[in-house]
Amino acid sequence: MSILFDEKNMTFHLYNDAVSYIMAVLPNGHMAQLYFGRKIRHKEDFSYLLETAPRPMASYFFEGERTLSLEHIRQEYGVYGNTDYRQPAVEIIHRDGSRVCDFRYHSHEISAGKPQLPGLPATYTEDGSEAETLTVVLKDPVSGISLYLNYTIFWRGGIIARSVRLSNEGTKEVHLAKVMSLCMDLPDSDYEMMQFSGAWARERYVKKRRLEQGCQSVGSIRGNSSHNHNPFLVLKRPSADEFQGEVMGFSLIYSGNFLAQVEVDTYDTSRVLLGIHPDWFDWKLEPGEAFQAPEAVMVYSWEGLNGMSQIFHRLYQRRLARGVWRDRPRPILINNWEATYFDFTEDGLVQIAEKARDCGVELFVLDDGWFGARRNEYAGLGDWKPCRELLPDGIKGLSQKIENLGMKFGLWFEPEMVNKDSGLYREHPDWILHVPGRSSSHGRYQYVLDYSRPEVVSRIYEMMSEILRESRISYIKWDMNRSITECYSPALPADRQGEVFHRYILGVYDLYDRLTREFPQILFESCASGGGRFDPGMLYYAPQAWASDNTDAAERLKIQYGTTYCYPVSSIGSHVSVVPNHQVNRSTPLYTRANVAFFGTFGYELDLNRLTGEEQEEVKKQIRFMKEYRLLLQFGTFYRLSSPFEHNMTAWMTVSEDQKVALVGWYRMMNRVNAPYARIRLKGLAPELYYEDASAGRGYYGDELMNLGLLTSDSSSGEVIGDIKPGCDFDSRIYVLKAV
């Protein structure tokens, strides 16, 4: 790992064992992008990578010459208005109305480790040897604004973490209209763009398109990263697949409005922009103030999509998630929501917990409906006091009863919302985001608290922390069930209303930070009507997230498959629920529901008392299996093998670090008749090791499994006669392979 600066040619070369990143200072002081890709040897002069030529209709930076046109140079941080006509990375409105900036190289610094970003989630290091950071300082000589471009290269893997800070060192205020966290200019457009889009109950579906001239983008202006699009995109060569070829991934560590965009110009160069969405963003920057943009992470892999994903998994699992739960296998839980909804009593909850305890469940979670006047979705949000009619001894008493059973206790909150039928709203009707004199839109009969106001955040913190201090709580499910409308804060002046969306998310981060610092032993799981805020920003505070409100096993294959392109299995909240499923009314086998949920944090979303005795025994076996293998399932090296978006059969697998144990998940949606024989090629095994499949009574060498494949033929290959057990729709198996 190294960052080298050649003063003669004014070039920077960042490289480690996997990747090189090269940039240079142009004659006009701007920064040019020369190369991002597989590691190359260092040499003194990379200036030949900067190509310039006169072009028709171009504008040129220097009087009398016709080569330096920023429109035709790959840049590090493009600015509109001085010969570059592409979408800019930054836009600043000066007091005189001008939007032109001229950021020129001023200085740079190379330091060990990685600095923290104040008030924002970001990747981190535990000592200075893990990474090096380059900070390039650019200055606009007219306005006095300084632009700090930060690049961190980690000691291994194709990872570059980037962030941007703007400091007003001039004498006049300015307005920041656009501040992207990442601008990446690529020399060609021969890529397929992958995005991860959907809606409630079908989050992070894989979408793919060829890059074309013009802009292609995804984003959110909903106040949260959203169910609809994820702050993550992939560029892959058309020939690249899961296991080979050049792939780049771009991920934003942020939970609010975002834009992920690729612009292809008519010369087929590509500009990637990633950062806070500029719509509804306007940040007033007074003299002496600075603005820190969120961090963006770029990953490069020449080993296909799986190679890219595994780099993200390791980074986000070990150097984004934090705290005591970062490396620990997650407890097997049962949540009462789909078992009872709002209709529960304390005795009924204890009965659910007792049966779960008998089956081996470790954590009981009480979901919505335990507080204030919350008997339905119309009332109670904001009044974080236990309802004594339901819980005579409060959360303190119930949590003690659950712990007396030998289990841990968890609790649901939705701290960012309020119902109008609540004591908090009646006391502070001005504490919601709203425009005075206009009607306020509701979502699920709730309104968004104004987290841009510190006093609002502090009040919620006081109520939550009081319950956490007096009770025995080991887990919190933090929900957020609507997007933002009427984004206006009466507490801010008119010229700062463009700051509300971002200040809101900073308030959410502040509350998370205060709670996780005071209660470091609590496991937090983020939730936003399921997957509405499944993003890296949340993983910094909560190492796992509820992937979707859709608990149907067949639908979850797509949701979890798409999620793994960026996010580790240990972050994916996944439960076994009742059938017919509450979201799609589909019935799937109990074993398939578990086989899908195993590849996540694992738990149950039902009342085990309502299962038959045979089903309860099956649940006990599932829990024993999960306890034996959950470290491998949640923290092993994960491979996608066959996509549910392309095939009737889905497959994935996880391999232990020493390559001695592998678990393969195999899932078939529709059963087949007289079908071909089937096999699937595995990945990540040691070629020379001999693996035994105890359930089949067979053994295979690793090279055999990876080249010939694992046989998955069953009764669908042929005719079902005699004692042959027929298959079924929504069938599945888990193959356990151990080296002997």
| Residues annotated as part of the active site | 479, 549
Is 429 strand, coil or helix? Answer: helix
Distance of CA 325 to the CA centre of its chain: 17
- Asked if residues 274 and 263 have their Cβ atoms less than 8 Å apart, the reply is no
CA distance 287 to 589: 64
**Assigned token pair, 349:** 């909850």
Stretch (H or E) spanning 112? strand 104-112
Give just the sign of the alpha carbon dihedral 419, 425, 430, 431. negative
- How many residues would you count in the chain? 740
The upper half-sphere exposure of residue 305, i.e. CA atoms within 13 Å in the direction of its Cβ, equals 28
**212 exposure class (CB count in 10 Å sphere: 0-12, 13-18, 19+):** exposed
**226 exposure class (CB count in 10 Å sphere: 0-12, 13-18, 19+):** buried
**Assigned token pair, 278:** 């500029």
- Distant-in-sequence, close-in-space partners of 617: CB < 8 Å, separation ≥ 6: none
Other C-beta atoms within 10 Å of 303: how many? 18
**Assigned token pair, 265:** 């110009």
- The residue type found at 221 is I
**Assigned token pair, 119:** 């008030």
Stretch (H or E) spanning 592? helix 590-597
Residue ranges of alpha helices (H) inside 326-372 are 337-340, 346-359
**258 exposure class (CB count in 10 Å sphere: 0-12, 13-18, 19+):** buried
Whose tokens are 């979303």? That residue is: 605
